[in-house]
Amino acid sequence: MFFLRRAGMKFINRGDPAGWDFDKNDFTCDSSWHALSLAGIVPVNTKIVEIGIEAQRPDTSRLIQFCTAGYTNRVNASWLYMAVAGQFFTDKVSIYMGGSNIIDYKADNGVYTSLNMVVCGWWL
């Protein structure tokens, strides 16, 4: 008789961080893709990371995207779309780490009133 062994991944909850890991000064907002290292936060063998993102802009129809570092087909990116000017938009997204501690992001060009990110946890 055959059986499948569970490929169990373990979620590590970061708990209650005292503050944001990254703020608007840590992001380059120029509508281009950039790398963001999570090396000081998540271990090297992390398979998936869950992040919380909060953003606010004075204008409408703006986008922040996140994806696995090095991916070239960005249709698989997670995004936060800001549809209304001046409102806070928040989301949690999970990103495959791809064997590194780096993720890629793209933030639309312009001024952000607020742009914050926290690592909520990760899967090993």
**Residues facing residue 65 across a β-bridge:** 79, 106
Q: Is the pLDDT of residue 1 over 80?
A: no
In this prediction, residue 2 carries a pLDDT of: 43
In this prediction, residue 72 carries a pLDDT of: 80
In this prediction, residue 76 carries a pLDDT of: 84
Domains and CATH numbers, the chain: 24-123 (2.60.120)
Residue range 16-20: average pLDDT?
A: 92
Q: Are 50 and 122 in contact (CB under 8 A)?
A: yes
Q: Residue 41 is encoded by which pair of tokens?
A: 């936060």
- Rounded Cα distance, 3 and 28, in Å: 49
The per-residue pLDDT for range 37-91, each reduced to its tens digit, is 999 999 988 999 999 999 999 998 899 999 999 888 878 889 998 989 999 999 9
Which parts of 15-118 fold into alpha helices (H)?
A: none
Q: Are 22 and 103 in contact (CB under 8 A)?
A: no
